[in-house]
Amino acid sequence: MLKQLKSIVVFATIALVTICGVTSCGSSNKLSKKEYKARVEQATKDLNAILNNETAWTLEEQQARVNEIKKTDFSKKNPEIVEMIERAEAKIAREMAERDRLAEERRLAEEQRIRELEEQNKPKTSLTEYFDMIANAKDVVSANSAIKEALKLFASPDAVVLIRLNNYGDYDRPTTAVNYLNYIKDQKKVNVSVDNVKYNEKNKITELELIKK
């Protein structure tokens, strides 16, 4: 009786293994021919749409679709799909890089626009006011700071400064912007007024003519 029972168990086990081999027992990830064919058709369609810019998907959505397609192994039966996947991923990567580059350019341009707008809206200090600030500075550090700011009005620290002594055309020896501003710092007074100013295309002073008061 025991021997017969063992025989029954063995035959049942063999039958179960045979059935599992014929069906999909333990192989739920395998696809039927119909399912595989459908995936091939859909993958080909979607990849072509991505490669030919015929989809409204975002780049992230395109990459997600490619990642989904890659879950199916096409390498044995459809290597052309694998090649399309590679081209699609390369295309998406290029377009993402270009998109990010343009976004960075726009960000920098916007920052520059805001800086320029802030500069335009910033209260302007006139050259005469800078002269007074330098002459009346409480210490050397403050005077040097005012000189540094005043020099931004000039095309160069070496911009020519002419000092007219009178209305008869007599001039003092020519000097430069940086030297004259330092002269004001040392003298701690201003005894001239602005008579004429020449600017370049960037609205920076290239030549300054002063007249003694």
pLDDT of residue 32: 94
Domain ranges of the chain: 32-119, 127-212
What is the mean predicted confidence (pLDDT) over 107-130? 87
In this predicted structure, the answer to whether residue 11 has a pLDDT above a threshold of 70 is: no
Are 65 and 57 within 8 A, CB to CB?
Answer: yes
Polymer length in residues for the chain: 213
Query: Who contacts 81 (Cβ-Cβ below 8 Å, separation ≥6)?
Result: 40, 43, 44, 47, 69, 74
> Rounded distance, CA 200 to CA 142, Å?
29
In this prediction, residues 193-197 reach a mean pLDDT of 93
For 126: left if phi > 0, alpha if psi spans -120 to 50, otherwise beta; the answer is beta
- How confident is the model at residue 15, as a pLDDT? 39
pLDDT tens-digit map of 147-171: 999 999 999 999 999 999 988 889 9
> Of the candidates 179, 62, 189, 174, which has an alpha carbon nearest to the alpha carbon of residue 134?
189
Structure-token pair, residue 27: 């192989």
Higher pLDDT, 13 or 111: 111
The confidence band for 122, taking pLDDT boundaries of 50, 70 and 90, is: low
At residue 8, does pLDDT exceed 70?
A: no
* Reported confidence tier of residue 29, pLDDT bands at 50, 70, 90: low
Average pLDDT over every residue of 165-188: 93
Per-residue pLDDT of 50-87, as tens digits, reads: 999 999 999 999 999 999 999 999 999 999 999 999 99
